[in-house]
Amino acid sequence: MLEQIVEVFEANKERYGSPRVTRELRQKGIGCGENRVPRLMNENKLAARRKKAFRPRTTIAGERVAPNLIKDLEPSAPNQIWVSDITYVSTVEGWLYLAVILDLFSRKVVGWKLGGTLEAELVVVALGNALALRQPETGLYFHSDQGSQYSSDAVRKFLTIIGANLSMSGGAFLIVCPW
């Protein structure tokens, strides 16, 4: 019985625990009691490897692309400072990524984009959506973390075209919403 358990365990890259091993043995027509497989697996130190939590990494190592320009600023009107971040949402079909842009004065969402990949295009489209809703004057501060999307050429070029100043915090930050 132990040889068959080890065979199933190794065939599944040591990721199956006793319930799955038991189920697979029974599907192969091998009779085994409910407690026998877990007992044999414990006695022989056969434990399923745990899956690591999924956490996308978007920051890049090295020097900061842009300084924190809004550290001591407080907006006195809309469209002076926009802040942005990307979060990920688990769905039935897999992970989706949400780029959100908030006006720091009103705390309203001025642009967003939901997508299946963590590419810079996600932020560029969210910026385009924000510009369709609002028409900021030259000198807008666009603040984000140091994610690779925000430091990409595509986003920096877009911000240069609209005359915005790129500002980045020292690390990841959380946008606090009033709701």
Q: What residue spans define the domains of the chain?
A: 2-43, 81-168
* pLDDT tens digits, one per residue of 38-86: 999 999 999 998 877 766 665 555 555 789 999 989 999 999 999 999 9
Length of the chain: 179
Instruction: Specify whether the CB–CB gap between 108 and 84 falls below 8 A.
Output: no
Q: What's the token pair of residue 129?
A: 């959506």
For tokens 């642009």, name the residue: 111
Mean pLDDT of 9-18: 92
In sequence order, which residues have a C-beta less than 8 Å from that of residue 43 and are 6 or more positions away?
Answer: none
Least confident stretch, 13-22, 61-70, 119-128 = 61-70
The helix/strand/coil state of 142 is: strand
Instruction: Round the average pLDDT of the chain to a whole number and report it.
Output: 88
Q: Identify the pLDDT of residue 49.
A: 86
Q: Identify the pLDDT of residue 55.
A: 66
Q: Which amino acid is at 75?
A: P
Instruction: Specify whether the CB–CB gap between 105 and 144 falls below 8 A.
Output: no
Q: Identify the pLDDT of residue 33.
A: 83
- 57 DSSP assignment: -
Q: Identify the pLDDT of residue 179.
A: 38
Q: Identify the pLDDT of residue 38.
A: 95
Q: Identify the pLDDT of residue 75.
A: 93
- What whole-number percentage of the chain has pLDDT above 90? 69
How far is residue 97 CA from its own chain's centroid? Answer: 6
- Asked whether residue 172 carries a pLDDT value surpassing 60, the answer given is no
Q: Identify the pLDDT of residue 176.
A: 45
* pLDDT tens digits, one per residue of 99-120: 999 999 999 999 999 999 889 9
How confident is residue 160, by pLDDT bands cut at 50, 70 and 90? Answer: very high
Three-state SS string across 63-130, please?
Answer: CCCCCCCCCCCCCCCCCCEEEEEEEEEEECCEEEEEEEEEECCCCCEEEEEEECCCCHHHHHHHHHHH
Count of Cβ atoms closer than 10 Å to residue 2 Cβ:
12
CATH tag, 81-168: 3.30.420.10
